[in-house]
Amino acid sequence: MVQVQALVEDRKLLSYPCATGFGISWCSHTDIMKLNHAVGKSIMNAGQKTAQIAARKIVHVDMDAFYASVECLDQPELKDQPVIVGGLGPRGVVATANYAARVFGIHSAMPMSRARRLCPQAQYIRPRMSRYQEISARIFSVFRDFTPTVEGLSLDEAFLDVTSSLKLFGGIEEIGLQVKQEIFNRTGLTASVGMAHNKFLAKLASDAHKPNGLVYVRPGEVFRFLDPMPVSRLWGIGKRTAPKLTALGILTIGQLRRCDVSLLRPVFGNRADHFHLLSRGEDDREVQSWRPDKSISHEVTFDTDLMDRGELLAELLRQSEKVSRRLRARELMARTVVVKIRDAGFRTVTRSRSMRAYSNSTRTLYRMSRALFESWRDQHRTTPVRLIGMGVTGLEHENSDGKAAGDRLDSSTERSLDQVLDRINQRYGDAKIFHGLALRRNKKER
Ligand code: DCP
Ligand code: MG
């Protein structure tokens, strides 16, 4: 191990990143980071593990007003105007708004009708997911230039464990700044970056000076950073718990930290210690670069409720296409299909079924979701549907120990057809080709 370490150190010095870029002629810096990471992990005992947790350096990156910023990038004339991205139908909701629109009180998940009342002069834009995915891929490629340990949380947000890369780049603050600059160089967009010794603090740090923020919470500054914040900033304290804490006179994280943990038990039960640790800024969760997606789903709320079976099935097929395409893009397969239906009276049902093997084929997933839908419809023939959605869970990587690969439901013909369609859709953007039935609903939307 020592030899490897020495070798790594030796190569690191010879290949230190310079002002002209990160090019390393005879051993890529990614190789070095991977080696450093492996060396660090393999030689640890229990005591060292505690020390290692304390020595971690985590960067959290979150793009500013992501969808809206991409729209402003592509249409520069929008730059200083309020821009709102989201569903444009009568039941649409705001996905995001740029900061010029946020001053009018617009925020994510707000009904679009309300946004239009608050800010009628804004530019309203429908989301273009494939464009956001393309930019997201560029952002994530920046992350991987700094560390192999990247945990993506969404298209615009990730944790990076940069502990093994500190010497290579000169320290955590240098890494945070360089990540930010490199994202701007490769996309033209601004990110907010938070740095700390754990995930919880890094995430709060990236949010502290949004937009375009760069905040490092040093180990000695944790209480000064956290104490004035309202308790609602702690993960897991929501609308129900906050009033109970208010009743105890606990409004800020500092007050929670100073309070005896036994006082917290009636509010949090057996999670009291967890929240007390968070109030002290303690969090030992690892950045999990390998974390697989737990589920993938898609749903649509119709502008007017639908009863027609053919139209509902066409929508289910369109969703099965989208979900299965996302599975294939990530080399995942699914075992369980879920269908969600909300009727005009706002009653929501979900039906799910596990398959006898794994699949990521459009046809198979559609067949399963159709069967689930039909079993609901048999008892609800005259019920108008407000929302329909389908999704998959029980995901496995295609190559995970041969588990999913050897247990595959899809025929080779189905797989070839999917591959051809994926290639066409990749080339010509979002969903240019659908199976015949889905066209029926697609046409109606236009
Ligand atoms: N998003 C969405 N629906 C939501 C929340 C977010 O569709 N309810 C989408 C649109 C956002 C993107 O996800 O652009 C990223 O979400 P963020 O919470 O990071 O929000 P923004 O990046 O838009 O803004 P911020 O600057 O606050 O991060
Ligand atoms: Mg964001």
List of domains in the chain: 1-43 (no CATH), 56-216 (3.30.70.270), 223-279 (1.10.150.20), 295-445 (3.30.1490.100)
Question: Going by DSSP bridges, is the β-strand pair 58-63/150-154 parallel, antiparallel, or unpaired?
Answer: unpaired
Told to judge if 157 belongs to the known catalytic residues of this protein, a careful annotator would answer yes
Ligand 1 near 96 CB (within 6 A): yes
Q: What local confidence, expressed as pLDDT, does residue 138 receive?
A: 94
Q: Which of 13-27, 85-99, 187-201, 293-307 has the lowest mean pLDDT?
A: 13-27
pLDDT 10s digits, 228-273: 999 999 988 888 889 999 999 999 999 999 999 999 999 888 889 9
The finding on whether 156 has its CB within 6 A of some atom of ligand 1 is yes
In one-letter notation, the amino acid at residue 438 is: A
Task: Give the pLDDT score at 370.
Answer: 97
Which ligand ends up closest to the CA of 64? 1
How many degrees, rounded to 5, is the angle at CA 369 between CA 364 and CA 371?
Answer: 95
Higher-confidence position of 135 and 38: 135
- For tokens 């754990």, what's the residue? 198
Flag whether pLDDT at 155 surpasses 70: yes
b/e for 12-49, b at 16 or more Cβ within 10 A?
beebebeeeebebeeeebbebbbbbbebeeeeeeeeee
Q: Cα(first)–Cα(last) distance of the chain, in Å?
A: 62
**Which residues neighbour ligand 2 (ion) by CB within 5 Å?**
62-63, 66, 156
60 φ, ψ (degrees, to nearest 5): -115, 130
Q: Which of 61, 64, 66 to mutate to test the pocket of ligand 1 (most atoms within 8 A of CB)?
A: 66
Locate 278 and state its tokens: 């968070």
Residue nearest to atom 12 of ligand 1 (CA): 66
Q: Is 157 in the pocket of ligand 1 (CB under 6 A)?
A: yes
Phi-psi region of 281 (alpha: psi -120 to 50; beta: other; left: phi over 0): left
Contact 200, 235 (CB under 8 A): yes
- Which atom of ligand 1 sits closest to the CA of residue 64? 26
Separation CA 391–CA 398 (nearest Å): 18
What one-character DSSP code corresponds to residue 198? S
- C-alpha atoms less than 13 angstroms from C-alpha of 295 in its C-beta half-sphere: 11
What are the strands of the beta sheet with 191-196, ordered from one edge? 150-154, 157-161, 58-63, 191-196, 214-216
Mean of the per-residue pLDDT values of the chain = 85
Q: For ligand 1, what atom is nearest to the CA of residue 210?
A: 26
The minimum-distance atom of ligand 1 relative to the CA of 67 is 14
Q: Say whether pTM exceeds 0.85.
A: no
Distance of alpha carbon 195 from alpha carbon 179, whole angstroms: 11
319 by Cβ neighbours in 10 Å (0-12 / 13-18 / 19+) ranks as: buried
Q: Whose CA is nearest to atom 1 of ligand 1?
A: 95
Residue range 354-365, pLDDT digits in tens: 998 899 999 999
* pLDDT tens by residue, 294-303: 889 999 999 9
Residue pair 316/370 in contact by the 8 Å Cβ criterion: yes
* 63 C-beta closer than 6 A to ligand 1: yes
CA distance 265 to 143: 40
- Alpha-carbon Rg for the chain, nearest whole angstrom, is 25
**d(CA 385, ligand 1 centre) in Å:** 28
Helix (H), strand (E) at residue 135? helix 129-146
* Atom 2 of ligand 1: nearest residue by CA position: 95
> What is the number of other CB atoms lying within 10 angstroms of the CB of residue 110?
16
Strands 83-86 and 94-97: antiparallel
In three-state secondary structure terms, 137 is helix
CB of 71 shorter than 6 A to ligand 1: no
Cα distance between residue 117 and residue 344, in whole Å: 25
